[in-house]
Amino acid sequence: MKHSINTICLSAVLLISGSTAFAQIHQMTRTDSARAERSHDLNPVVVTGTGHHQRLKATATPVRTLTQREFQEQGIATFEDAVTRMLPQVSMAPSSMGSFLRMNGLGNKYLLILINGQKLSGDISGNVDLARINMSRVKRIEVLDGAASSLYGSDAIGGVINIITDQPTNQLIGVTSDTRVSGEGKLTESVNLDIYTHGFGSYTSYTHDRADSYQTNDLVYKKGSTTEMQQTLAPLFTGYRSHLLSQRFTFSPDRVRRPVSSRGTYSLNAGIDYNDKITDRPNTNPDIAGGTDYEMHYRALRWYAGGIYKFSPKNSLQVDFTSDHFRYGKDYDVATKSQAVGDYVQSKRQHTMEGQAKAILGLAKDGTTIFGADWRRDHLEATSGNIDQAANIFALYGQHEHKLRLGSGFATATLGLRYDYHENFGSHVTPKAALMYSLGHFNLRANYSAGFRAPGLDELHYHYFAVNRGKPQIIFGNRDLDPEKSHYVSVGAEYRTARFAVGVTGFINRVRDMVVRQNIDIDPAALARLQTEFPEMTADQAALLERYSLYENSDRGDIKGLQVNLSANLFNGFNLTANYALMHARSCSDGKWRNLERSIKNVGTLAANYYHSWGFYTLNVNVNGRLQSKTYYPDYEDAPGHGIWNLSTHHTFDVLSWALIEPSIGVDNLFDRVDRRIDSSLRRYALYSPGRMFVVGLKLKFKH
């Protein structure tokens, strides 16, 4: 904690010492002053649902939007906090192998995460490495529930999360430092440098994120016992150290010369992101179980380039290319029989290349037509899984949206169709249809969309043997797997004004041929075959092996739900948001229905925010909470429900025309809710909080 506070003080000294130069250059206006009257925008611009920019109220496909202002008000510094505090349909389980993300009961592999419309690749055992998301640059997060394969192809059966980044163009030079510190060694420090002049923009960011490992109980039941316990070093939450460096360039020469005209305008962008993350787990101890000989080390390099040419305000052509490299392995910090301290053993390397071309056309007076083409190449090299495979996917898609008057209201209809060719699974067609009827402040929506997901290269080709915490594990892929297919239907109603919005949506998402990992018991004959197939397995390890895993298509999945969303500016300075999700997520295997693992039936989120200005000082107070029922673990003991409440206060001092000073202080987990159950082979968790923690932050902005 002392080191973290010193980091805040050092950031303040460095930035304030350079602030004189900004003052000498120019006295900026107070247009962006915190003293200006604020209100929540209940009708923001979104792009994810239909593939082109339009107001949220006007889109036929419902989209949930999380804004930068809400992140600041709730004291949110990480992507995990953003989605779990504000989206009841989303849950998260952190681990040393990444974050296990679920939405409406469906896990990571069914969710597509995009950054500015481009897929974020790379996973660890199916878990997304969310440390690659730079929250200091996030302008808003758009969330689309349900199948979206007609626009986004494979992997979008459960929904799409599109992260839109911010590139300021209202200043010559801007420098921002944002530091947040809390208990258990948690520290997030980000520094941004923005330069924009004559249509050219340069946006540089560095973020350091760290946290210590912690336990809520240092006891476990001994294997095979329900009464005898022993101490363990194994953490409930695995600590880490992460560094993220990003550089983005933009060029829009016509932005400052003239407005969009019949002659057309263009803009270009290119950038690179580098992420390095290493875990911080307890080392092996001969007297206490639960330690490890190595840390997991992740590295990622992502670069991209693209541009958009606008023929006219309603006609444009956009082209983008992304190359994403992700790899991870074991960094040994304890000497073993085969490894020395400092050795690195690579476990997995992924490389995804993706090219996209999209035309947005105003072919009809009240319509918008989209044509697009995608190409993606996925390559997986997994040493432990004995894989070196690649797959290519080609796609063409089209969509038309049309608005027309019906009686005293308006109707918006959207029809879309996508054709995908996967070199391992052939051709697939996924349609979409959406209809919205607007009458005054009321909107009625109905949506249908089909989805498909091609099995991953690991699910097809895995030939995996490893020993984890002394336990041998064998996993086989299955080249006879079929693609997963889904049908998603939703119906909703919404009432929206400038100060108040309430919506109710019911949905059904049915998935066929779900790919699951089946555990198969081992008899003596099977064990002999496995020993021959994996000669590196010792006799002692073979004696501990009880089953192996094989990827198979289960029968089907069925997710039904209801969402209620409320946003209101009740009176000047006070805003309220409340969200509720009812989810019934099940799968059927061998004719038996059961709840999907880690699914939750009832979740609600609530946030109340108050702000007021007195001269140069603005106070913002926010209380937010998440309440959820038990988490289902069909093969284990269900995790009990819980409620977590957080308090955040944000203080803005606008005493200088060229600088803002924004300290913050708050409390996470106000009522000290902790799951202190003793770990066992049948127990799993849904609450990973170490208890009540104070949070301190300091944000400094210098602009010219």
Residue 173 one-letter amino acid? I
* pLDDT of 238: 92
- Does 5 score more than 70 pLDDT? no
The string of pLDDT tens digits covering residues 531-584 is: 888 888 888 888 888 889 999 998 799 999 999 999 999 888 999 999 999 999
> Which of 351-360, 376-385, 671-680 has maximum average pLDDT?
351-360
* pLDDT of 679: 76
* pLDDT of 503: 94
Under DSSP, the state recorded for 630 is P
389-400: average pLDDT:
95
Nearest to 105 by CA among 703, 609, 557: 557
Under DSSP, the state recorded for 64 is E
- Does 703 score more than 90 pLDDT? no
CA angle 629, 632, 635 (to 5 degrees): 160
* pLDDT of 97: 62
Task: Tell me the C-alpha to C-alpha distance, in Å, between residue 247 and each of 306, 683, 698.
Answer: 14, 43, 23
pLDDT tier, 668 (very low <50, low <70, confident <90, very high otherwise): very high
* pLDDT of 617: 96
Distance of CA 379 to the CA centre of its chain: 22
* pLDDT of 213: 94
Nearest to 502 by CA among 565, 585, 416: 565
pLDDT-wise least confident of 127-136, 373-382, 470-479: 127-136
Number of H helices, E strands in the chain: 9, 40
Residue pair 322/353 in contact (Cβ under 8 Å)? The answer is: yes
pLDDT-wise least confident of 124-128, 134-138, 158-162, 313-317: 124-128
* pLDDT of 542: 87
Count how many Cα atoms sit within 13 Å of the Cα of residue 171 in the half-sphere of its side chain.
Answer: 26
> Which of 24-33, 161-170, 440-449 has maximum average pLDDT?
440-449
Task: Tell me the C-alpha to C-alpha distance, in Å, between residue 656 and each of 448, 652, 701.
Answer: 53, 11, 11
Backbone phi, psi, residue 230, to 5°: -145, 160
Q: From 3.40.718.10, 2.40.170.20, 3.40.50.300, 1.10.10.10, which CATH number describes the 2-451+493-514+554-703 domain? A: 2.40.170.20
Burial 169-204 (b: 16+ CB within 10 A, else e): eebebbbbbbbbbbbebbbbbbbbebbbeebebbbe
pLDDT tier, 126 (very low <50, low <70, confident <90, very high otherwise): low
pLDDT-wise least confident of 34-48, 225-239, 345-359: 34-48
- Does 479 score more than 60 pLDDT? yes
Task: Tell me the C-alpha to C-alpha distance, in Å, between residue 47 and each of 83, 167, 305, 628.
Answer: 18, 17, 19, 30
Q: What is the rounded CA–CA span in Å between residue 16 and residue 110?
A: 46
Residue pair 701/660 in contact (Cβ under 8 Å)? The answer is: yes
The string of pLDDT tens digits covering residues 617-652 is: 999 999 999 999 999 998 888 999 999 999 999 999
Count how many Cα atoms sit within 13 Å of the Cα of residue 415 in the half-sphere of its side chain.
Answer: 3
Residues in the chain: 704
Q: What is the rounded CA–CA span in Å between residue 456 and residue 461?
A: 9
- Does 444 score more than 90 pLDDT? yes
* pLDDT of 46: 76
Count how many Cα atoms sit within 13 Å of the Cα of residue 9 in the half-sphere of its side chain.
Answer: 6
Q: What is the rounded CA–CA span in Å between residue 413 and residue 443?
A: 13
pLDDT tier, 262 (very low <50, low <70, confident <90, very high otherwise): low
Nearest to 659 by CA among 25, 225, 207: 25
* pLDDT of 626: 97
pLDDT-wise least confident of 138-147, 350-359, 507-516: 138-147
What number of other Cβ atoms are within 10 A of residue 373's Cβ? 14
Distance of CA 89 to the CA centre of its chain: 13
* pLDDT of 177: 95
Distance of CA 417 to the CA centre of its chain: 26
The helix (run of H) or strand (run of E) holding residue 207 is strand 200-211
Q: What is the rounded CA–CA span in Å between residue 485 and residue 487?
A: 7
The string of pLDDT tens digits covering residues 70-85 is: 998 898 988 999 999 9
Average pLDDT, the chain: 87
Residue pair 696/12 in contact (Cβ under 8 Å)? The answer is: no
Hey, which residues does 451 pair with through a beta bridge?
Answer: 486
pTM, entire model: 0.89
Give the end-to-end CA distance of the chain in Å, rounded to a whole number: 34
* pLDDT of 127: 67
Q: Where are the domains of the chain?
A: 2-451+493-514+554-703
Q: What is the rounded CA–CA span in Å between residue 303 and residue 321?
A: 9
The string of pLDDT tens digits covering residues 266-299 is: 999 999 999 999 999 999 998 898 899 999 999 9
- Does 397 score more than 50 pLDDT? yes
Residue pair 279/264 in contact (Cβ under 8 Å)? The answer is: no
DSSP-assigned letters across all residues of 286-325: TTBBT-BSEEEEEEEEEEEEEEEEEEETTEEEEEEEEEEE
pLDDT tier, 28 (very low <50, low <70, confident <90, very high otherwise): very low
pLDDT tier, 337 (very low <50, low <70, confident <90, very high otherwise): confident
* pLDDT of 124: 64
